[in-house]
Amino acid sequence: MEVTRMSAPLGAVVEGVDVRSLDDGVFEEINRLFCEHHVLVFPKQNLRPNDQIKFANRFGELIPFPYMALQDYPNLIELSNKGKARDVNQHWHSDMTYHEQPPKLTMLYALEAPEIGGETAFANQELAYAELSVGMKKVVDELTAHHSAEGLAKLYGEDQQAAPRSLHPVARTHDETGRKSLYVCRAFTRRFDEWSREESKALLEYLFAHSVRPEYQGRHQWRVGDLVLWDNRSVLHYAVHDHGDDTRVIHRCQVMGNAPY
Ligand SMILES: O=C(O)CCC(=O)C(=O)O
Ligand SMILES: [Fe+2]
């Protein structure tokens, strides 16, 4: 197994392994690397849907996704840009923060990839938290925020009133490493529970901008056969749609996480 860093703020590329056949010791090492680097890339994998599901299952229980499930594979969805002007994931977010128990990790496998562009951007939220001042850390440590899927419901033409909502700490603690991350995102975070909507606005704007400073970011350029997993407890991500109609087809699944604390 050969591990090289992907970018200064986050990510590692793991070569020389076939994720279909890992003994428990190697898997444990992979999980350790995952918690340390936040994003792992496994190039040149050769996976059928069941192989991806089986590997993801080693991290925990899969969360089915209500839309776009593949026939025969309710836990796997297909992300495709065919016939779409924009990507629904073209915004900074951590996955499903509007749920009580958001997925701890999301795993994508590329079946088709554009020659150039169509990257996924990531931002390290442990760094974002660590680089806040002592005074600001004290403020965010005391706050909880309301997250909601209203924006997504609007996008999918669904009932916004019925969209799922949840309340989470603004600085969450990683259940495996004990490290703290900033846990807000422009896509889903609406306001602080302890503050009025008006009061929340300015600080949230500051945190949204701070959380995705270029110094915290790394990007992945997709190649066919890439398997990529990211840690929703400690990174934000953004699907960069700059590849026009060049085909990009990805299989996606997600693994259940803890209720953030
Ligand atoms: O397509 C991508 O690059 C990322 C999509 C995304 O946000 C997700 O799968 O959660
Ligand atoms: Fe996402």
* Residue 39 identity: V
Quote the tokens at residue 38: 């936040």
Quote the tokens at residue 147: 């997250």
Of 9-23, 30-44, 58-72, 184-198, the one with minimum mean pLDDT is: 58-72
What separation in Å is there between the alpha carbon of 133 and the centre of ligand 1?
Answer: 31
Contacts of 214 (CB under 8 A, 6+ apart): none
Contacts of 141 (CB under 8 A, 6+ apart): 170, 171
- Provide the mean pLDDT of the chain: 95
pLDDT of 68 > 80? The answer is: no
**Residues paired with 255 in a beta bridge:** 62, 105
Ligand 1 within 6 A of 237 CB?
yes
Ligand 1 within 6 A of 243 CB?
no
For the segment 236-241, the average pLDDT, to the nearest whole number, is 96
| CATH class of the domain comprising 2-256 | alpha beta
Ligand 1 atom closest to residue 239's alpha carbon, by position in its atom list:
3
What separation in Å is there between the alpha carbon of 135 and the centre of ligand 2?
Answer: 31
Query: From CA 130, how far away is CA 234, in angstroms rounded?
Result: 12
Report helix, strand or coil for 149. Answer: coil
- Cα angle at 7 between 41 and 107, to 5 degrees? 25
pLDDT at 98: 96
**Where are the alpha helices (H) located in 79-155, listed in sequence order?**
125-130, 134-141, 150-155
Rg over CA atoms, the chain: 18
Quote the tokens at residue 233: 């407890």
pLDDT of 66 > 80? The answer is: no
For the segment 216-222, the average pLDDT, to the nearest whole number, is 98
**50 contacts 35 by C-beta, under 8 angstroms:** no
pLDDT of 71 > 80? The answer is: no
Residue nearest to atom 8 of ligand 1 (CA): 89
Phi and psi angles of residue 21, each rounded to the nearest 5 degrees, phi first: -140, 85
Task: Tell me the whole-structure pTM to 2 decimals.
Answer: 0.96
Per-residue pLDDT tens over the stretch 88-145: 789 999 999 999 999 999 999 999 999 999 999 999 999 999 999 999 999 999 999 9
Quote the tokens at residue 96: 């499903």
pLDDT of 4 > 80? The answer is: yes
**48 contacts 72 by C-beta, under 8 angstroms:** no
Ligand 1 atom closest to residue 250's alpha carbon, by position in its atom list:
1
Ligand 1 atom closest to residue 240's alpha carbon, by position in its atom list:
3
Query: From CA 204, how far away is CA 17, in angstroms rounded?
Result: 41
Distances (CA, A) of 82 to 18, 87, 89, 155, 225: 29, 10, 14, 17, 19
pLDDT at 67: 61
One-letter-per-residue 3-state SS of 236-259: EEEECCCCCCCCCEEEEEEEECCC
pLDDT at 198: 97
Per-residue pLDDT tens over the stretch 136-195: 999 999 999 999 999 888 888 889 999 999 999 999 999 999 999 999 999 999 999 999
Ligand 1 within 6 A of 254 CB?
no
Domain ranges of the chain: 2-256
Residue nearest to atom 1 of ligand 1 (CA): 239
